[in-house]
Amino acid sequence: MMTELKRIIKSGFINFTRSGMISWAAVLVVTITLSVITAILLLQAVLHFSLDQIKDKVDVTIYFTVDAPEVKIMSLKKSLENLPEVATVTYVSADEALASFRERHEDDYPTIQALDEIKENPLGSYLNVKAMEVSQYESIANFMKSDNALVLGSTSIIDKVNYHQNKIVINRLNNIISGAQRLGFLITLILIIVSIIITFNTIRLTIFISREEIGVMRLVGASNMRVRGPFMVEGAIYGIIATIITLLIFWPATAYFGNNMTNFLGLDVYDYYISNLFQIFVIVLLSGVILGMISSFIATRKYLNK
């Protein structure tokens, strides 16, 4: 078995070197395919980063009455944190709310003067709630409407919840995120299918040139695996060489985008590429080797079934 495997691997390398320019043409096509896959991985990273940035800007704020006891507010905070839809809950005291308000309006002299004349804090505390997903804010708002232990049988400590003011924006954002994810998946699928078809046809062409050799091997009684094996090894070689070329191409390409397009993309593509290089290498290598081997396996079947 080991002797046969060594012969198959050796024959695969001989086929690759003997085919010359045809082999390198196949490597070029596989490189283009792997470049498309690598570009898709990077574009998906940019898309997910952008969507996460958008999600991070969306929240629901629960404003409390000025005289709301802090004990009840903290109890509600704990109840919200126990909800599976909630990611984080941030408490802002009345004093912190006033300091933030003054900072935002430091150039608005009439407003600051009016605050100074009041001589007391007109603002109440509030909770800033961030959901796991944009689509989950409605269920959080519905929880706030329900009769819970904090408001049941007593005056509510909640002044207002700004979800309904932001509902249209949140719903639009949710639709944009869902649409972007679906479009990204569709484009990825189409590009990968087109790339696979092109690669398959190129490898089939290289095997077509060796059809007479396949016929001779069959006449002398070679097994299907003995005939097919060298071409599958050759396909794997295409994938390995194409992977190395692809990663070398994207090294300076991502450095350029990292230096010049970070403000536009929002993500430093070069830093992402370097920090995830091993993961990208494994994905691209497996894609190239599997693509080359499967294409060779399918292409040789036509000659083995005769």
What is the C-alpha separation between 115 and 102, in angstroms, rounded?
9
What is the C-alpha separation between 134 and 46, in angstroms, rounded?
19
Q: Contact, 229 vs 11, CB < 8 A?
A: yes
Cβ count near 193 (within 10 Å):
10
What is the pLDDT, as a whole number, of residue 128? 87
* pTM, 2 dp: 0.67
What is the pLDDT, as a whole number, of residue 132? 84
Cβ count near 271 (within 10 Å):
13
Q: Which residues of the chain have pLDDT under 50?
A: 149-154
Ramachandran area for residue 187 (φ above 0: left; ψ -120 to 50: alpha; else beta): alpha
The stretches of the chain forming alpha helices (DSSP H) are 2-19, 21-57, 70-81, 94-104, 109-118, 137-145, 163-209, 211-219, 224-260, 262-265, 269-275, 277-304
What is the pLDDT, as a whole number, of residue 278? 93
Q: Count of alpha carbons within 13 Å of 46, Cβ hemisphere only? A: 21
What is the pLDDT, as a whole number, of residue 304? 64
What is the pLDDT, as a whole number, of residue 146? 64
What is the C-alpha separation between 201 and 22, in angstroms, rounded?
13
Rounded to the nearest 10°, the torsion over CA 99, 104, 108, 111 is -40
Q: Contact, 137 vs 86, CB < 8 A?
A: no
What is the C-alpha separation between 35 and 24, in angstroms, rounded?
16
What is the pLDDT, as a whole number, of residue 202? 73
What is the pLDDT, as a whole number, of residue 247? 93
Q: Count of alpha carbons within 13 Å of 68, Cβ hemisphere only? A: 28
What is the pLDDT, as a whole number, of residue 152? 43
What is the pLDDT, as a whole number, of residue 306? 55
Q: Environment class of residue 182 by beta-carbon count within 10 Å: exposed (0-12), middle (13-18) or buried (19+)?
A: exposed
What is the pLDDT, as a whole number, of residue 154? 47
Q: Contact, 10 vs 180, CB < 8 A?
A: no
- CB neighbour list of residue 255: distance below 8 Å, 6 or more residues apart: 270
Please give the helix or strand (H or E) that residue 84 lies within, else none.
Answer: none
How would you classify the pairing of strands 60-64 and 158-161?
A: antiparallel
CATH class of 66-156: alpha beta
Q: Environment class of residue 129 by beta-carbon count within 10 Å: exposed (0-12), middle (13-18) or buried (19+)?
A: buried
What is the C-alpha separation between 170 and 152, in angstroms, rounded?
29
Q: Which residues, in sequence order, are bridge partners of residue 130?
A: 88
Of 111, 129, 117, 134, residue with least CA distance to 52: 134
Within the chain, all domains assigned CATH 3.30.70 are found at 66-156
Work out whether the CA dihedral 211, 217, 222, 225 comes out positive or negative: negative
What is the pLDDT, as a whole number, of residue 243? 93
